[in-house]
Chains A and B, each alone.
Chain A
Amino acid sequence: DAGVIQSPRHEVTEMGQEVTLRCKPISGHNSLFWYRQTMMRGLELLIYFNNNVPIDDSGMPEDRFSAKMPNASFSTLKIQPSEPRDSAVYFCASSFRLNYEQYFGPGTRLTVT
């Protein structure tokens, strides 16, 4: 099993640009989670999906952030426009069902200059 796949692994962009982060969950997993990790705030849940439907997006910091899950094998997290304070490592995780163990991807390090 390849595990959770995220791309790109590293992204450097200029302030104001649109950024799209991608995630492929583990096959057969019904739940998907997006997290952000920073030195100051640690690991924070941004949004999670169950059966491709967003369940709770209360952790999404601003309207500049949006997430979609068009099918069971793909999700995106988009930031438009990006700002330097969005610089962080973004993790995607998936679980078999909502209350099961979450498996994390390797993360995407985003740097906004």
Chain B
Amino acid sequence: GESVGLHLPTLSVQEGDNSIINCAYSNSASDYFIWYKQESGKGPQFIIDIRSNMDKRQGQRVTVLLNKTVKHLSLQIAATQPGDSAVYFCAEKAGTYKYIFGTGTRLKVLA
């Protein structure tokens, strides 16, 4: 399948452990953020989003935290499973319909 990138930062976690993936965004005016998951050979898939008037949002096994002071976004995955292995991207939107994507982090789940 299509390779996303050979030189991405990689996070290796043991199956069952929690994962935390971090992202620094660039524009202090960004008002909406999304985390995407991209598996090998597939396009990015929406995981969870958060608006700038929130600092935390929870989904099924995932939590996104937003720290506007330091322009930092994190994705927490609880009880990481082998199917969570993928590249994860954050994306920010600042007042337009254009999203700016981060470079991505590769998550490897160790059995």
Contact = CB atoms under 8 A, between A and B. Distances in A.
Question: Are these two chains actual partners, yes or no?
Answer: yes
Interface of A: 4, 31, 37, 39, 42-45, 48, 55-56, 59, 89, 91, 93, 98-99, 101-107, 109
Name A's interface SS.
strand
Contacts of B101: 42-44
Contacts, number: 51
Contact of A106 (B4, B5, B42): B42
Given A37-B4, A89-B2, A107-B2, A43 B97 contact: no
7 contacts: A31-B97, A43-B89, A101-B49, A102-B99, A106-B43, A107-B42, A109-B2
Given A42-B103, A99-B97, A106-B41, 20 more contacts: A39-B5, A39-B6, A39-B7, A42-B89, A42-B104, A43-B44, A48-B97, A55-B97, A56-B97, A59-B98, A89-B2, A91-B43, A101-B49, A102-B99, A104-B43, A104-B44, A106-B42, A106-B43, A107-B2, A107-B43
B44 A56 contact: no
